[in-house]
Structure 1
Amino acid sequence: MEERKLMKLGRSSLVISLPKNWIDLNNLKQGDKLSVEVQGDHSLSVYPSIKEKKKEKNITLHIDVNEDQNSISRSIIACYLNGYSSIRLVSRKIFTTPQQRAIRHVARILFLRIMESDSKNIQMKTLVDESRTSILSNLDRMHMIAVSMCRDALNALFELDKALAKTVYSLDDDVDQFCFFILRILRTVSNDPALLKKLNLEPIDCQDYQVLTYRIEHVADHAASIAKN
């Protein structure tokens, strides 16, 4: 921990200088606005205010011709959860049909729009503005789908309704959409105090929401398993 002295400015104001490495880390310059908040323990939190246009995080993944679909899907999901807004996939030869199918499937689940596509190159972007979303609203929608899946899975089992069972199984992707989106937001706000404040969240809330998200997703998985079998 670094200590700094208070300096007097004018007749009554006291000021403190900010560490240069923190300034550089947040790409701040003279005239930028900072948010200041007094915590419950009387400590002071200082963080950059949310800017209208945040720098987009881009990443390029190089895909081997023999790489299996599950590996590709996991790589894309990992990039998405780590806050990348633009994900470019480049094949060392060409994308196989199973690879293309897996890429498009995970893109649909993650709300990613394919912006460019050819035999060797696919670029996907997320167009969702995290600063305008609501964790509670998304959790509520995710919960409603999971509840309907449980109800319909049991009805399909008791009535031997295969059509209803197929419908229940297909809804698991919708739950996964909300699950990954909520987890992305929670991971983002853990490194962005300004966004945390704008979404009216507390750090302890994020832990609870993460557990709740996983629990709802597990319930939906069990309902999908009943419907599948």
Structure 2
Amino acid sequence: MRLVLGLTALLCSLTDSLQQPCKSPPYLTGNLIVGEGKIWNYEYNAALQRMRVYETEHHTNQTFTYDYLLHFREGVMYEIDGQTFTCTKKPLRTEYQPIGIPHDADYLDNFVLGSLSVPKAGISMQAWTGYTSGGEEYSMCVTEEGCVPYYTIYNTEKYGEVVLVFMNSTMHTTPQDDLNPPRFCPNTKSAARPVDLVSLFSKSKARLLTRTLTKLKNVYLNDYTVLNVHV
């Protein structure tokens, strides 16, 4: 019995060691849910190692757009405002790349999302884990067929656990966009502190909190117009 268990454990370990990280589709577009349900749009170009994340918010007759271009290979990020035609170029920390299983990731297991006992009711998934270049743990889950990203979780020291869930992803055989910055973006990199993908989502949350606090302050000062109501 011990021999059987030993052989089983050995076979499992060999299977894990032989499991190689899959390659995600080179060109993807879709939606990205971050943290507490905020939905972003994303575009991904693996050949150029570029990603765009953007969203639009509507608050009291005002529209706020957040648009970021992340060039991982070049190590730069562009923060774009298409309404005012302004753009800021900042240095980019590249340890957070949520699409594509890193070559040094460790295979965890396969599992079924849903049920395979009913036709079209389930899908086989792969789970991987590892550490970023900064020493922070991550876990990734992709489809077994196609290596399409499903979720990425970062356990960060600064922001805690950050969860990114990919939805409505569409695979493309050719790039939809080279994800080049607009012409009004500067060529020179600013001296600002380096940013990363995770901090962008936290920055968006902070802006929303600031607007909410401003509204509460105006209500306290009897300026109810910010709530778009009549008194």
TM interval, shorter chain, is: under 0.3
Higher relative contact order (CA 8 A, sep 6+): 2
Give the TM-score normalised by structure 2.
Answer: 0.24
TM-score, structure 1 normalization: 0.24
The structure carrying a bigger helix percent of its residues is 1
In proportion to residue count, which structure has more strand?
Answer: 2
Answer with 1 or 2: which has the greater Rg.
Answer: 1
